[in-house]
Structure 1
Amino acid sequence: MATEVTVPTLGESITEATLGEWLKQPGDAVAADEPIASLETDKVSVEVPSPVAGTMGEHKVQPGDTVNVGAVIASIEAGDAAPKQAEAPAPASTTSPQEQAAGPAPAPTPSEPTAEAPANVDAAALSPSVRRAILEHGVDPATIKGSGKDGRITKDDVVAAASAKPAAPAPTPAPAATAAPATGGERLEERVRMTRLRQTIAKRLKEAQDTAALLTTFNDVDMTAVIEARAKYKELFEKKHGVKLGFMGFFVKAACMALKDIPSVNAQIDGDEIVYHDYADISVAVSAPQGLVVPVIRDADKMSVAQVEKTIGDFGRRAKDGSLKMEEMKGGTFTISNGGVFGSLMSTPIINPPQSAVLGLHRIEDRAVVVDGQVVVRPMMYLALSYDHRLIDGREAVTFLVALKNAIEDPTRILIDL
């Protein structure tokens, strides 16, 4: 008897999703509550669990199809998976004596990658983007340790493995007399449908540009004090709190202090009204395989640096394996985006509607600056505040950045709320 698998409830106001990939193929054994497929919604990827134990049956829809909540997408057959067929014996040789005397045919050269995974890797467990990355970088998936959920390989794992792979020795150039004339290679194009998450990101960012009067103000900050504090206390911090001390904890707390001083940066426009918040729910931009997601640190102004670091670390881990929940990305009064982890020197971030401002952090680099009349080298970072000029004036934006800069350059201010 077959049990139908339906699309689960995805959250408030969400009625449909896109099938991302099948995690189980027809004939595979599945356990109760084991993920068999992933769905992509406007904000997160959601795994569909098997309602019963048994054997994976027919796929009713294909990756990329749009499915409604409650729709049947597959079936689970009762009983264990069918045993795999024994390997068929090698067919008798049909070559002639002359062909046998000539020796075996040459083996295919390894320079032509195929789309199949090695025998010890389950190709069905690899998403299309991962398989494509494996072919592009020429790495063996059997040598990659997956960081995704249940040890699945992600695209980031493939890129990391490719960068760690030693460079192949340069081939010995052939004599000029025997070199073949260069010919133009085939030019290929690939069309990939945008994921639902990417479509939503594009829509919301364009909406922000069309609706808000966007402006960006810059400042820079000397990171010396924070770097010294982090180096001095990072071991004790990790031993006590079980999490590494990073820079985001300092910036989140400094931003919360500045938001209290400049409440309009923490406000939003709702029709003809301005909504002010007496709390700071900080959205932090986190990179995920499917795109950028923005989970929210609730009541960040009431948290310690350790609590902030634990929350951000948890968000980062769950963003990679797609287990963030819908409600964790709703709301938010102010956003911090750290492009510095990717090497960005300067940028003009776009606000996350209906919020009115976003803080962009960038890479830290040594620069020559003048301190007390002397040219010295200091670790500097550019800060960028993009804001809706309809609500936030330039004076308020500059005042916010200066308050943030003062708190980072003198972290004692964060402790005494000054």
Structure 2
Amino acid sequence: MRSANEVRAPRLNTLDEDYVVLEWLVQDGAAVAEGDALVAVETSKAVEEIAAPSAGRAMHAVAAGQRCRVGEIVARIVPEGAAADDSGTHQPPAAVVLGAESTDRPAAAAGPVITEPARRLAEELGVSTAALHALGKAVIRADDVRAVAPAAHRPTVAVAPHGEPVRLPRGQAAVAATAARSHLEIPAAFLVMEVGVDAAVAASRVARRRVRAMVGLTELTVLALGRLRADFPWAFAGTDDPSAPRVRPGAHVGVTVDVGSGLAVPVVPDADRATLGQVAARLTELRQRSQHARLSENILRGANITLALAPEDGVVFSRPLVPPGQACVVSLPAVQERCVLEDGQPRARRVVHLGLAYDHRVLNGREAAAFLTGLRGLLEAPEALVDDA
């Protein structure tokens, strides 16, 4: 009989020794292909997916709501036509509720899985267990708690009656001040290039399975910016004194995040020395922190270049403002599909219109074009980036 492939919990970060199984993304016994996401687990920093190492039928070994240690078997992939186990039978584990006194009660009796961050937030905001159960979800996360929190604890947008002025939220007020200063002080120029991203999209899929984390164009672009630091140091210059800009050490890439009340720009530090896996892990952490309003000052400090994201469908290109103190900012809009002719035959091609807004006091058009061309080259031939996972 062919043996089943064991799926073990990988080490997703250096600090955690165990994780919480949040939810199964496939049914017990369901057919899966190699690379399919099997299960979502919660680390101390993020929610990660574990993928199937091969094709077959996925047999759950750990229940939703349980903890699993690094290296523990969470599932088995049974090749088609093979028995689930030596006895030819398979009993899926019963789901449990995190924090319950007993961890072996069936889900029907115990209710939904409530993650530890969600449980703490519910206590903080005064959300009852009954209100969480009423959501009818199998897994309750912190965002679900916020959705049912008392109105006083939820973010609100003030709407003034009859056109009366209102005070901007603190985050948006900070954005407004930065935008005004940028327009007033920085003589900015802008370039845009069309970049084919078919190879980058394909490479992202391969890298995602290798590093066990989310990898997409954002992650590849952050890593590519780091790789350009050595050849284009002035793109990473500080302009606090415009008459004497200084080249800053390292590539510390700020990435724009919409936190609901304005933009935040958390930083991926040392992208020039990072692997793709490290960049992916950092961005996963930053996304989770921004969703939970846990972006501290040290995470938002120190960028010497910015990647401005505009991923909404239909956005062809975006011209961002150059942040005061930086020499340039790269814009990454949504992927577009277009039809091109190759050897007389139509073919679909995915592209993005990569932009570069730059301080003309520090960079000239030729230097800016060379920098953007280098970035395009890395994204159109991303093998070196993926090999560096």
Q: What is the TM-score normalised by the length of structure 1? A: 0.54
Q: Is the 8 A contact 2:239 2:324 kept in 1?
A: no
Match of 2:233 in 1: 263
Cα deviation, residue 335, structure 1:
0.2
Q: Is the 8 A contact 2:205 2:215 kept in 1?
A: no
Q: Percentage identity across aligned positions?
A: 26
Q: Kindly report which structure 2 residues correspond to 1:98-137, keeping only aligned pairs within 5 A, or say none.
A: none
Q: Is the 8 A contact 1:295 1:329 kept in 2?
A: yes
Match of 1:382 among 329, 353, 356: 353
Q: Is the 8 A contact 2:237 2:248 kept in 1?
A: yes
Match of 2:146 in 1: 152
Match of 1:231 in 2: 205
How many angstroms apart in 1 are the aligned matches of 2:288 and 2:376? Answer: 29
Structure 1 340/378 Cα, relative in aligned 2: closer, same or farther at 3 Å?
A: same
How many angstroms apart in 2 are the aligned matches of 1:261 and 1:144? Answer: 54
Q: Kindly report which structure 2 residues correspond to 1:306-385, keeping only aligned pairs within 5 A, or say none.
A: 306-341=277-312, 343-369=314-340, 376-385=347-356
How many angstroms apart in 2 are the aligned matches of 1:208 and 1:144? Answer: 47
Match of 1:394 in 2: 365
How many angstroms apart in 2 are the aligned matches of 1:279 and 1:244? Answer: 24
Cα deviation, residue 349, structure 1:
0.6
Match of 2:216 in 1: 246
Q: Kindly report which structure 2 residues correspond to 1:296-311, keeping only aligned pairs within 5 A, or say none.
A: 296-311=267-282
Structure 1 310/412 Cα, relative in aligned 2: closer, same or farther at 3 Å?
A: same
> What amino acid is aligned across from residue 378 of structure 1 in structure 2?
R
How many angstroms apart in 1 are the aligned matches of 2:148 and 2:335? Answer: 28
Cα deviation, residue 363, structure 1:
1.0
1:77-119 CA-partner distances (Å, limit 9, x unpaired): xxxxxxxxxxxxxxxxxxxxxxxxxxxxxxxxxxxxxxxxxxx
Secondary structure, aligned partner of 2:352: strand
Cα deviation, residue 297, structure 1:
1.1
Q: Is the 8 A contact 1:249 1:306 kept in 2?
A: no
Q: Is the 8 A contact 1:351 1:358 kept in 2?
A: yes
Q: Is the 8 A contact 2:240 2:324 kept in 1?
A: no
Q: Is the 8 A contact 1:220 1:382 kept in 2?
A: yes
Cα deviation, residue 319, structure 1:
1.0
Q: Is the 8 A contact 2:309 2:332 kept in 1?
A: yes
Which has more radius of gyration?
Answer: 1
Cα deviation, residue 317, structure 1:
1.1
Cα deviation, residue 147, structure 1:
5.3
Structure 1 283/258 Cα, relative in aligned 2: closer, same or farther at 3 Å?
A: same
Secondary structure, aligned partner of 2:249: coil
Unaligned stretches of 5+ residues in structure 1: 1-121, 127-140, 156-186
Q: Is the 8 A contact 1:144 1:153 kept in 2?
A: no
Q: Is the 8 A contact 2:225 2:251 kept in 1?
A: no
Cα deviation, residue 266, structure 1:
0.9
Match of 1:210 among 148, 169, 184: 184
> What amino acid is aligned across from residue 395 of structure 1 in structure 2?
R
Q: Is the 8 A contact 1:259 1:400 kept in 2?
A: no
Q: Is the 8 A contact 2:207 2:386 kept in 1?
A: no
Unaligned stretches of 5+ residues in structure 2: 1-121, 127-132, 150-160
> What amino acid is aligned across from residue 153 of structure 1 in structure 2?
A
Secondary structure, aligned partner of 1:261: coil
Q: Is the 8 A contact 2:195 2:351 kept in 1?
A: yes
Q: What is the TM-score normalised by the length of structure 2? A: 0.57
How many angstroms apart in 1 are the aligned matches of 2:148 and 2:221? Answer: 29
Secondary structure, aligned partner of 2:311: helix
How many angstroms apart in 1 are the aligned matches of 2:322 and 2:362? Answer: 13
CA RMSD, aligned part only?
Answer: 3.1
